[in-house]
Amino acid sequence: MKKFFAAVVLSLSLFKASADEGMWLPMLLGEQVYADMVKRGLKLTKEQLYSINKASIKDAIISFNGFCTGEIVSSQGLIFTNHHCGYGAITAASSVEHNYLRDGFYAYNKEQEIASGLYVLFLDKITDVTAEVEAAVKGLSWSERLAKLPEVTKAITDKVIDKENGLEGRVYSMFKGNQFLLYTFKRYRDVRLVAAPPESVGKYGGDTDNWEWPRHTGDFSVFRVYAAKDGKPAEYSTENVPLTPKHFLPVSIKGFKDGDYAMIYGYPGSTNRYETNYGIKLKNDIENPSLVALRDMRLKYMHEQMVKDPAVKLKLADNYATVANYWKFFDGETKQLLKFKTQQQKEAFEKQFTDWAKGKPEYQYLMSDYAKNYAAWTPYSKMRQYINEGVLGSPLAAFAATLIPLEDKLMKASTPTADLKKALDAATAARKAYLQAADLVSDEKIMATAAMMYYNDIDKNQHPVSFYESMKANFGSLKEEGTFKNWSKAVFSGTMFLDDAKWNAFVAKPEAVKLQEDGAFAFGAGFLKNYTGKYASLYNTFMSKNAELGKAYMKGIMEMNPAAVKKMYPDANSSMRVSYGNIKSYRPRDAVFYDYVCTAKGILEKYKPGDYEFDLPAKQVALLQKRDFGQYIDKAKNDLVVSFITTNDITGGNSGSPVIDANGNLLGLAFDGNYEALSHKIAFDKDLNRTICVDVRYVLWCIDKLGGASNIIKELKLVK
């Protein structure tokens, strides 16, 4: 019995935070976690980390437009975040004549700052509402519970809504539905672009260096949040003034050394650290390889056109960056999961869990139920990926699919004229937006290849009825690539979505049959309807059952060893978290050592004039060659430090997160993870995991020396 218990405790290390693992709730750090932070070097009190009644670090951390993190760094609402977080706003502000994406942008006074259309959220407080939620769903079946939860959480968030003061709430499910926390936020809607380096700096290294260390990317952009004169949130107005924040981060240019304490606040998007072996197998065997192959195809065709024409590059830049980022991530994730035998580790733990669960009705059949649930869905998993990443990876097909609701209205004789007009007006506006962003040359190739890959790789029983038969009858053998190319060419030349005259004629006399006969609609909408009509319910059942099993499994894990709960943390779910660790070098493999910083010397070593990924502005090359580093030089390295690595636990959503020293000063901005630990959404590697951060001294050097925006530097509280 003692031997078995020891094995259970040992295997619980799969789920209990160890070393630097953990994305902790700032309100619920616990004495054990806080004591460990102090032991590692933290000099701040708990109240300085998180407080409702007093200004604290959490008041300087913002959710940046819902998908990144940013930090307030001045008394005038100045924001630092990543370049890739501001990428869409920088692109939107750019034109061929004023290409801020290519050339960079610096506002030398507040009048030059550019409205972005972005928003930021400040966390006001966190409240545990578990008891309230559970009381409202007590006694309900799982399906009834799922149906009821949105109503319950809405009633909770409705209580905190205060439109005048910008307050809103969101209830987050923690530990797979075993705990519920209400986050109250204040939303500010006037956010303006202040500075951004040239893309050759902000994306230096491109896809080649993405997720890699060493790294020399100046991944930063600067914004400012504005408010009404009374400090309340307001829509954009020239009458608004810079926000005076509760707290802002001092900026350290003192430098640091290997081993120094580092803390990261932010809004990490999602992890699944409590995943089962069945989920990992599905990911490794089907989901990730399919996604990688389809995105690889899309990137190839977009890149071909982007390198030929600056206007096309500007048009496709944001979409290309989004597709490319996780193309490489999911490829690396699978490789690391296989390398570390994560599935086998999960299997071993699940066997021990099942042994422990014998005689406990709530838990004893969990693993067999998981197996049945995955067996029921797995045959359709690849097809779903091919719809999302292949068919709808064609912008034309994706636009066409959005017209399914219009088709429904056209097919109903009872549709009011006003409703139909509203739908047609919306479709016309959506078409205009699509055409502004479209690159037809790359899209035609994407559509042809996506259709061919679906035909070759997906079970014929899951094909839309008669679609490929019709293609064969009109364009030739489905064994020939040329058949798909000719079909796609015909779709693009014939669709009314690309022809103003045809579209206007359709709007003037809208008929469902005209829409249905359009080649682009037949493809995009046809494949999507095939999925939603036959398979979406299977996916929904799969996900619902997985959630039900996950809640019970999580509860069971905690019951196996209650003492371990104090060092467990909930999966990331876009709620504010804090992680801690150290700045630290590492050895990724035998005979290889990676230092904890990269310097300007490395920028020049990688520099290739005219290269798509490793070119640099001439001014920057000259400044670096002259070693004009000013006050930003690192005395220990006798160079300008560009980036550094820490052992902190982060994931997507932490982009732009502040890296904070033991005294609460800003050291840099987190922007990436390392390739050797890309399994981090599923499993944290205590030895190899590293967070890649741009050094704030390089950020300031770019603003000051490269951009000449000393006005921004003067706003900051520099710690020397």
**Euclidean distance between CA atoms 191 and 183, whole angstroms:** 22
655 catalytic, yes or no?
Answer: yes
What are 45's two structure tokens?
A: 């009190």
Secondary structure of 194-226 as H, E, C letters: EEECCHHHHCCCHHHHCCCCCCCCCCCEEEEEE
DSSP line for 33-52: HHHHHHHHT--S-HHHHS-S
386 Ramachandran zone, left/alpha/beta (phi>0; psi -120 to 50): alpha
CA dihedral 383, 387, 391, 395 (to 10 degrees): -160
Residue whose pair of structure tokens reads 């006074």 in the numeric block: 109
**Euclidean distance between CA atoms 705 and 620, whole angstroms:** 9
Of 499, 509, 496, the residue nearest 400 (C-alpha): 496
DSSP line for 107-163: -SSGGG-EEEEEEEEEEEEEEE-HHHHHHHHTT--HHHHHHHHHHHHHHHHHTT-BG
DSSP state of 599: E
21 and 271 Cβ atoms separated by less than 8 Å? no
Residue whose pair of structure tokens reads 């840099």 in the numeric block: 668
**Euclidean distance between CA atoms 353 and 675, whole angstroms:** 31
SS3 104: coil
**Euclidean distance between CA atoms 82 and 560, whole angstroms:** 41
**Euclidean distance between CA atoms 708 and 697, whole angstroms:** 15
Residue 290: exposure state from Cβ atoms within 10 A (0-12, 13-18, ≥19)? buried
**Euclidean distance between CA atoms 642 and 695, whole angstroms:** 5
Residue 329: exposure state from Cβ atoms within 10 A (0-12, 13-18, ≥19)? buried
**Euclidean distance between CA atoms 618 and 622, whole angstroms:** 6
- Which backbone phi and psi does 363 adopt, to 5 degrees? -125, -20
**Catalytic option among 219, 331, 571, 649:** 219
Q: Is the dihedral of CA 287, 11, 653, 337 positive or negative?
A: negative
Q: Is the dihedral of CA 238, 244, 245, 251 positive or negative?
A: positive
Angle at 99 between CA 96 and CA 102, to 5 degrees: 125
Q: How far is CA 621 from the centre of its chain?
A: 32
636 and 583 Cβ atoms separated by less than 8 Å? no
CA end-to-end span of the chain: 59
Amino acid identity at 36? D
**Catalytic option among 20, 83, 84, 643:** 84
**Euclidean distance between CA atoms 241 and 76, whole angstroms:** 9
30 and 566 Cβ atoms separated by less than 8 Å? yes
463 catalytic, yes or no?
Answer: no
**Euclidean distance between CA atoms 712 and 432, whole angstroms:** 38
241 and 227 Cβ atoms separated by less than 8 Å? yes
**Catalytic option among 655, 657, 680, 685:** 655
Longest Cα pair distance anywhere in the chain, in angstroms? 80
Of 225, 187, 199, 246, the residue nearest 79 (C-alpha): 225
84 catalytic, yes or no?
Answer: yes
**Euclidean distance between CA atoms 497 and 443, whole angstroms:** 14
Of 583, 37, 38, 581, the residue nearest 256 (C-alpha): 583
223 and 86 Cβ atoms separated by less than 8 Å? yes
Q: Are strands 241-242 and 251-252 parallel, antiparallel or unpaired?
A: unpaired
What are 106's two structure tokens?
A: 């610096």
**Euclidean distance between CA atoms 645 and 666, whole angstroms:** 14
Catalytic residues: 84, 219, 655
